[in-house]
């Protein structure tokens, strides 16, 4: 049995993760949840003992709405805003109407929490005993389990087991959705980016960054990340422009990029910290256009390769430390500066 076969013909699906799940597992669970819902599947979280973040995000999607119904033809609709609310005016075409033609009620979206499922995805749970504690044995009777984890100590308790210790859970879910030909949307991609951004899994960075860039280009964003939205927007731009040569990443920022994200070059320290500590990129450069007169391209870099620090210090004016520095080039255009730096770093013996 493969995953596509398991999902086909099933209407009710549960998704389960640990109460103390990390953000990678939370992002993966929410992405899978909303992807399956977009496929028309009735998808639920089967336990109330869930991470606070999942409850928070689902409550945002499940807010109450006020529904007004008028059963006759309307000639005019308008509203008047008040300090605390509004007044809605409906003008009927037929003057002979009464209260029976009008109704209003508070409605809610579908319930996101239910034990009514016959297929269960477990995300990041290595011990079947924990699944039983969260769900209950009755819920698991005659239930197909798809077990997804990044821990090789997983007990392989599912009918289908996907255990990959070399990549984040969010990346595994992204690959799974592609495998079942499920075209993701902005919401799903943003949850995957949320999980990937906080994964501390030591993994193939090139594959991880490639996945993040694909998610960004297909509508995802970093709006779910904590912190200032403008700085997260600048991080999106830098990730989109990121390329890799000889395990060294390099990205460029135009003046228009700063304007678009409402940031300045001072905010690049935030981006550098995210690339280093959250995305675990071992060696990277960021080049940007400086408004100084004459115009010039400046750069900052971080690396665990000592020879790169030595080479940069010998070639470019700047302030250098043991694992990086800030420097000035003689170029006015970032693309030319990028090519010259890459050419220089690849020259000679390492």
Q: Cα angle at 124 between 134 and 176, to 5 degrees?
A: 120
Question: Which among 107, 135, 168 is the end of a domain?
Answer: 107
pLDDT for the residue numbered 236:
96
Residue 144 to residue 154: CA distance in whole angstroms: 17
Residues 161 and 13 occupy one common structural domain: yes
Assess whether 131 and 250 both reside in one domain.
Answer: no
Counting Cα atoms < 13 Å in the Cβ hemisphere of 245 gives: 11
Domain boundary among 171, 204, 237: 204
Domain-embedded: residue 252: yes
Task: Quote the mean pLDDT of the chain.
Answer: 88
pLDDT of residue 258: 95
Assigned domain for 212 exists: no
Residues 11 and 139 grouped into a single domain: yes
Cis before residue 294, ω within 30 degrees of 0?
Answer: yes
Is the pLDDT score of 111 beyond 80? no
pLDDT tens figures, 188-240:
999 999 999 888 777 777 888 889 999 999 999 999 988 889 999 999 999 99
Point out the domain boundary residue: 173, 204, 235: 204
pLDDT (mean) for 149-172: 95
Number of domains in the chain: 3
pLDDT at 350: 43
Percent of the chain with pLDDT over 70: 93
Does 46 fall in a domain? yes
**Rounded-to-5 percentages of helix, strand, coil across the chain:** 40, 25, 35
- Asked if residue 228 lies in contact with residue 64, where contact means CB atoms within 8 angstroms, the answer is no
Residue 100 has pLDDT above 90, yes or no: no
pTM here is 0.80
| Interval 48-69: pLDDT, tens | 788 999 988 887 776 556 678 8
Q: Is residue 221 part of a domain?
A: no
Q: Identify which of 221, 212, 202, 147 has the alpha carbon closest to the alpha carbon of residue 174.
A: 212
The answer to whether the beta carbons of residues 251 and 216 sit under 8 Å apart is: no
User: Within 13 Å of residue 304, how many CA atoms lie on the same side as its CB?
Assistant: 6
Regarding whether 120 and 102 lie in a shared domain, the answer is no
Greater confidence (76 vs 284) lies with: 284
pLDDT in tens, 290-315: 877 678 899 999 999 999 999 999 99
Whether residue 137 sits in one domain with residue 252:
no
Q: Can you give the C-alpha Rg of the chain in angstroms?
A: 26
Does 217 map to a domain?
A: no
In a domain, 209, yes or no: no
Nearest-angstrom CA–CA distance, 17 and 47: 9
Residue 44 above 80 pLDDT? yes
CA dihedral (282, 172, 241, 310) in degrees, to 10, reads 10
Q: Is residue 109's pLDDT more than 80?
A: no
CA distance 120 to 140: 8
Same domain, 184 and 55: yes
Is the domain of 48 the same as that of 177? yes
pLDDT at 64: 59
Which residue range forms the structural domain that includes residue 336?
227-345
> What pLDDT does 349 receive?
44
Give the residue from 157, 262, 187 showing the smallest Cα distance to 32: 187
Question: What's 308's domain CATH number?
Answer: 3.10.310.30
Q: Does position 266 have pLDDT exceeding 80, yes or no?
A: yes
Output the six-digit token pair for 54: 């999942």
Which of 146, 147, 236, 230 has the alpha carbon at shortest distance from 190?
236
Give yes or no: residues 7 and 145 share one domain: yes
Judge if 116 and 103 occupy the same domain: no
Same domain, 160 and 44: yes
8 Å CB contact between 54 and 26: yes
78 and 150 in one domain?
Answer: no
Structure confidence at residue 135 (pLDDT): 87
For residues 324 and 311, membership in a common domain is answered with yes
What average pLDDT does the segment 168-191 reach? 88
Q: What is the DSSP letter of 14?
A: E
Does residue 105 carry a pLDDT above 80?
no
CA dist., res. 133 & res. 99, Å (int): 52
CB of 254 within 8 A of CB of 290?
Answer: no
- 218 in a domain, yes or no? no
Residue 90 has pLDDT above 60, yes or no: yes
Q: What is the mean pLDDT of residues 25-43?
A: 93
Of all residues in the chain, what percent carry a pLDDT higher than 90?
Answer: 57
Residue 325 lies in a domain: yes
């Amino acid at each position: 049995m493969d995953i596509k076969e398991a999902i086909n013909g099933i209407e009710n699906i549960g998704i389960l993760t640990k109460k103390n799940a990390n953000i990678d597992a939370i992002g993966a669970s929410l992405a899978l949840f909303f992807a399956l819902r977009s496929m028309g599947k009735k998808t639920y979280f089967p336990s109330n003992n869930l991470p606070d973040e999942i409850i928070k995000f689902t409550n945002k999607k499940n807010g109450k709405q006020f529904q007004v119904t008028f059963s006759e033809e309307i000639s005019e609709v308008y509203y008047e805003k008040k300090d605390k609310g509004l007044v809605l005016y409906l003008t009927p075409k037929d003057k002979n109407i009464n209260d029976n033609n009008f109704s209003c009620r508070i409605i809610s979206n579908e319930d996101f929490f239910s034990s009514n499922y016959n297929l269960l995805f477990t995300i990041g749970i290595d011990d079947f005993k924990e699944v039983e504690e969260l769900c209950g044995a009755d819920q698991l009777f005659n239930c197909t389990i798809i077990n997804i984890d990044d821990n090789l100590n997983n007990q392989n308790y599912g009918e289908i087991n996907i255990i990959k210790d070399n990549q984040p859970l969010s990346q595994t879910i992204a690959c799974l959705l592609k495998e079942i030909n499920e075209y993701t949307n902005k919401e799903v991609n943003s949850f995957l980016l949320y999980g990937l951004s906080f994964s501390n899994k030591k993994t193939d960075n090139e594959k991880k960054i490639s996945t993040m860039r694909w998610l960004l280009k297909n509508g995802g964003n970093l709006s779910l990340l904590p912190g200032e939205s403008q700085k997260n927007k600048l991080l999106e731009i830098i990730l989109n422009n990121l390329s890799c040569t000889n395990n060294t990443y390099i990205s460029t920022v135009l003046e228009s990029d700063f304007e678009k994200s409402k940031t300045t070059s001072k905010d690049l320290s935030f981006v550098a910290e995210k690339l280093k500590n959250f995305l675990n990129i071992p060696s990277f450069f960021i080049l940007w256009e400086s408004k100084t007169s004459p115009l010039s391209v400046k750069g900052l870099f971080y690396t665990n390769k000592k020879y790169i620090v030595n080479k940069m210090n010998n070639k470019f004016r700047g302030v250098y430390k043991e694992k990086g520095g800030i420097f000035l080039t003689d170029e006015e255009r970032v693309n030319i500066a990028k090519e010259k730096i890459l050419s220089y770093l690849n020259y000679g013996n390492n």
